[in-house]
Chain A
Amino acid sequence: MSSLDLTSSDVPAIVELHSAIETPENVVLTYRLAGPALRLWAYVIDTVIRGIVLFVAAIIASISEMAIEGVPVGLWLVLLFLMEWGYFAIFEGFFRGKTIGKHAMNIRVIQEAGYPISFWSALMRNFLRAADMIPLYGIGFISAFTSGKFRRLGDLAAGTVVIEERKVQLPREPIILEKIQPLSRSDIGTYVPPHKTLTLIEEFLQRRFVVTHQRGHELAARLAKVLAKKLNFQGQANFVEEYPMAFLACVYVTFHRTMNNDADEEHHHNPDQRQPAVAGEAMITSP
């Protein structure tokens, strides 16, 4: 968006949730950090599981206590110890950074450098839970919110981060564009939007069903206005104001051949005389 003035001061600051590392292949990978809410939920799930396991074991122990005195209680106390000090470390150390709760929330602990967590790191980050937990995870929270990558003391010492894993799919092509007419050349000036802007529009259109039409237009409005000005758009008067999403689609269709060179010859078809506003309607009412 460098060429468009969208970075002015009234745009709110973005909360940085990404962590970038460089691999031995010299590729920069970005991870999406897991926010405190996700981690808290994972912790709650794990705590409930630990409680249930201890509760069930207590019942079994008290029944078998009649048969072999002492041993069941002893084993239960060892289990209590393991649940307190070993549960997280064992799961994270041996199941590639995931406890049951983390698995449920689709988050994972990794080394900051992008490698899977090692056994000793898992031990470190979870032994230090004892320090993070004072009082009621107060230290952990303060550390998480001041460290920059949501790392509590255990994470800082072990060199780990918790990341969010999402299923990412190959994006679909914006098929709907076939129905939209390019802007008439007589309505616009000589300005050609940069490649980056067109990519931005393309992605926006691909994901437009994530939000309502109204919100979609709201989001599109800023860029649409800037583009209309740069293009010196002379077409239908309130088109840009009322259907900014549709306007962006028209801009994209107008210039996407430039962007994709001549590879899309087969997708191209003759412009007919439909009004841009109608094209807009077609787009915003489609499911």
Chain B
Amino acid sequence: MISKREYRRKRQADWTRFEALIHKVDSKGWKKLSGNDASQFSQLFREVCHDLSIVRTRDWGAGLTSYLNELVTKGHNIFYKAPPTRSHDFFAFLSRGFPCIFRRNIGFFITAAVMFFLPLGITWVVVQNRTELATRILPVQQLDQMEDMYAESSFEDFGSSRAAMGGFYIMNNVGIALRCFAMGVLLGTGTVYLLLTNGIVIGATIGYLVGKGHGENILSFVVSHGSFELTAIAVAGGAGLMLGEAIVHPGRRTRLDSLRTRGLEAVQIAGGAAVMLVVAAMIEAFWSPAPIADQIKYAAGGMLWLLVILYLTLAGRGEEVA
């Protein structure tokens, strides 16, 4: 059997060479590597793997083992690099991937939509008929503020601050949707809670304003961006429920495995919902408060609802995008 020292003497040049190649890739990236270097890299990688096995089986000590382990680890990380994410992929994801994955898991969306839209509708109807009940849900101050805001039909004072509002809507609404998704990991409880509370609060607000006689103002304002916004909250909620379900009903997998494999689709759905909410924020900032006739807003709003429905039901149909 060859001695440790001899083995080291024989192999050391290759190890140093491999180290240098790793350094080269680390600092300059794969693309700058010459063809010769690249093929040498893959050959040396396999050789160093072999060296590591030998050193391990012969018990040549932790020092040498951890040195080679480090080399192989670095090589492994470079060799099996994650596929790069390109802007092209982003659009492919939005136009086909996201709606496909969404439809594959549409049951969760329907459940979340019921949990969100049902309390929304019920509180809307109840509060509209007895506006004093709204104070049980929202503080009086906030209700007064809302009433002031929607008392006039136009939003002239919004004019200069539209961009600021756009930023606020992104920060606030996308945040709510992502939280709605993330809390799903607490066995779905967080998602259910957020869906119900958001539904109740939104329902109470709309019901209160409609009941106070500002129906035209609030509804013409909400109808356009509501298409993307309300749907996206239910979409994100559905993704959150997927996380919860993956843990509660793991099937034949372990709970961890189940969370990991099914979570991959869930997070992609949540990502898509986030993009939908960014679109909603733009509509809410620049279109919804614009001084335009209500009829036109209703028409545009109807178109947007149709667009959202068609997008989610038809986009990417007939393609198998993972």
Contact = CB atoms under 8 A, between A and B. Distances in A.
A106 B61 CA distance: 25
Contacts of B80: 24, 114-116
A261 B83 CA distance: 48
A71 to B, nearest CB: 4
B69 A119 contact: no
B294 interface: no
A207 B2 CA distance: 25
Contacts of B46: 25
A76, A124, A131, A173 — most chain B CB neighbours (10 Å): A124
Interface in A88-118: 93-94, 96, 110, 114-118
B107 interface: no
Contacts of A23: 49, 72, 76
B178 A85 contact: yes
Contact of A78 (B81, B171, B190): B171
A157 B164 contact: no
A242 interface: no
A158 interface: yes
A264 B62 contact: no
A129 B190 CA distance: 14
A263 B308 CA distance: 76
A63 interface: no
B264 A120 contact: yes
Given A128-B185, A131-B190, A260 B178 contact: no
B92 interface: no
A168 to B, nearest CB: 4
A77 interface: yes
Contact of B53 (A27, A157, A170, A196): A27
A130 B170 contact: no
A123 interface: yes
Nearest to A32: B66
B167 A75 contact: yes
B85 to A, nearest CB: 5
B132 interface: no
Nearest to B61: A199
A117 B264 CA distance: 13
A26 B54 CA distance: 12
B204 interface: no
B130 interface: no
Given A69-B160, A114-B76, A120-B264, A81 B171 contact: yes
Contacts of A116: 77, 80-82
A263 B3 CA distance: 7
B61 A124 contact: no
Contact of A203 (B53, B63, B82): B63
A70 B162 contact: yes
Given A25-B46, A70-B161, A130-B179, A170 B67 contact: yes
A93, A96, A120, A173 — most chain B CB neighbours (10 Å): A120
B183 interface: yes
Contacts of B163: 70-71, 73-75
Contacts, number: 163
A64 to B, nearest CB: 12
A119 B161 CA distance: 35
A169 interface: yes
Interface in B46-70: 46, 49, 52-53, 56, 59-64, 66-67, 69-70
Interface string B89-115: 000000000000000000000000000
A169 B61 contact: no
Nearest to B259: A157
B40 interface: no
A25, A96, A195, A259 — most chain B CB neighbours (10 Å): A25
Interface string A257-268: 001110110000
B6 interface: yes
A254 interface: no
A241 interface: no
B185 A153 contact: yes
Interface string B11-54: 01001000000000000000000000000000001100100110
B268 interface: yes
Contact of B167 (A24, A74, A173): A74
A116 B78 CA distance: 8
A112 to B, nearest CB: 9
B77 A110 contact: yes
A287 interface: no
Contact of B182 (A75, A93, A131): A131
Given A128-B182, A128-B185, A130-B182, A157 B3 contact: no
A171 B178 contact: no
Contacts of A206: 63
B175 interface: yes
A31 interface: yes
A-B pairs with lowest CB-CB distance, top 10 = A77-B167, A74-B167, A171-B63, A74-B163, A130-B182, A263-B3, A73-B164, A168-B70, A81-B171, A70-B163
8 contacts: A25-B46, A26-B49, A69-B160, A118-B82, A166-B70, A203-B62, A206-B63, A263-B6
